[in-house]
Amino acid sequence: MELTILGCSGSYGGPNAGACSGYLVRDGSTTVWIDCGNGTFGHLQQHVAVEDLTALVITHAHPDHCVDLYGLHVMLRYALHRVGFPVYAPAGLEQHLGTLVDGDWGGTFSWHPIDDTQPVTIGSMTLRFARTDHPPPTYAVELTADGSRLVYTSDTGPGWSVAAFPPGADLVLSEATYLHDNKSAPIHLSAKEAGAAARDANARRLMLTHVWPQLDPTLIAAEGSGAFGAPVILAEPGLVTAV
Ligand SMILES: [Zn+2]
């Protein structure tokens, strides 16, 4: 599997191509877009033709993880004339986000609810979900394909950890919104908490994302590396990593 960062700015867009949360995961011809935060649809088109997308997964209803769905809807519906494009999302998101299109998605999407009881197969990938510690129904995602395993925390407070999935993931992509001594909201992790959780789950590698834009990312990386016990990778738009 291969992971491409489309955006990693925490909660709101930052300068210098600072799109919010969005990730592309590929395995052979299976190409899955995970979270379509603001700014990520433009970046996505630098890496893949929209015609070649297999599915979209939305982890929760916060705007920085889902609002580029509207751009995808317009392109699929009016430029590509596609119907039934698969979207995997928490139950109710179709109606919740549908208020901005007066409930008229035009059949563009085929909606599949996700929860932490049912694995999902998308092409060559198996996806499992776990409800995190974050106010709207929010699901972390484990993707398995070709013998490798990626765990993405989505957004979470410290009441949930990547240990909800089996230990030893090849790559954990964890939110790390704050520095530990200046945490302003309990619904997100500090870099220290992200590093410690990934260490406890025996993650082979850790990448930190969803960093608050006003923070110095090198401080986030240093704090995360200290807690993880090995150097972490900092997400940045356009970064491509083998899982
Ligand atoms: Zn959120």
**CATH number of the domain where residue 151 is located:** 3.60.15.10
Residue (of 209, 91, 217, 228) closest to 154 by Cα position: 209
In angstroms, what is the span from residue 135 Cα to ligand 1's centroid?
Answer: 8
11, 92, 100, 158 from 96: Cα distances, Å: 19, 6, 9, 27
Cα 59–Cα 60–Cα 62 angle in degrees, nearest 5: 135
* pTM above threshold 0.95: yes
Residue 235 per-residue DSSP state:
P
In angstroms, what is the span from residue 80 Cα to ligand 1's centroid?
Answer: 30
- In this structure, which amino acid lies at residue 148? S
In angstroms, what is the span from residue 60 Cα to ligand 1's centroid?
Answer: 7
Question: How confident is the model at residue 136, as a pLDDT?
Answer: 95
In angstroms, what is the span from residue 93 Cα to ligand 1's centroid?
Answer: 14
b/e map 47-63, b = 16+ CB within 10 Å: ebebeebbbbbbbbbbe
Q: Please state, in angstroms and rounded to a whole number, the distance separating the CA atoms of residues 89 and 83.
A: 17
What's phi and psi for 241, nearest 5 deg? -135, 135
Burial class, 89, CB count within 10 angstroms (exposed 0-12 / middle 13-18 / buried 19+): buried
In angstroms, what is the span from residue 120 Cα to ligand 1's centroid?
Answer: 22
In angstroms, what is the span from residue 37 Cα to ligand 1's centroid?
Answer: 10
Q: 218: which 2 tokens?
A: 């090198």
In angstroms, what is the span from residue 155 Cα to ligand 1's centroid?
Answer: 5
Question: How confident is the model at residue 143, as a pLDDT?
Answer: 98
In angstroms, what is the span from residue 62 Cα to ligand 1's centroid?
Answer: 5
- Determine contact, residues 63/38, Cβ cutoff 8 Å: yes
Is residue 177 left, alpha or beta, with left meaning phi > 0 and alpha meaning psi from -120 to 50?
alpha
Question: How confident is the model at residue 184, as a pLDDT?
Answer: 86
In angstroms, what is the span from residue 134 Cα to ligand 1's centroid?
Answer: 7
Q: Please state, in angstroms and rounded to a whole number, the distance separating the CA atoms of residues 224 and 208.
A: 8
114, 157, 159, 170, 240 from 5: Cα distances, Å: 23, 22, 26, 17, 7
Mean pLDDT by 10 residues, the chain (243 residues): 97 88 98 98 97 98 98 98 98 97 97 96 98 97 97 98 97 98 93 98 98 95 98 97 97
Question: How confident is the model at residue 230, as a pLDDT?
Answer: 98
In angstroms, what is the span from residue 136 Cα to ligand 1's centroid?
Answer: 8
The count of domains in the chain is 1
- Determine contact, residues 47/6, Cβ cutoff 8 Å: yes
Q: Please state, in angstroms and rounded to a whole number, the distance separating the CA atoms of residues 88 and 138.
A: 12
The total number of residues written for the chain in this structure: 243
Residue 178 per-residue DSSP state:
B
In angstroms, what is the span from residue 30 Cα to ligand 1's centroid?
Answer: 26
Question: How confident is the model at residue 208, as a pLDDT?
Answer: 98
Print the domain residue range for 185: 2-242
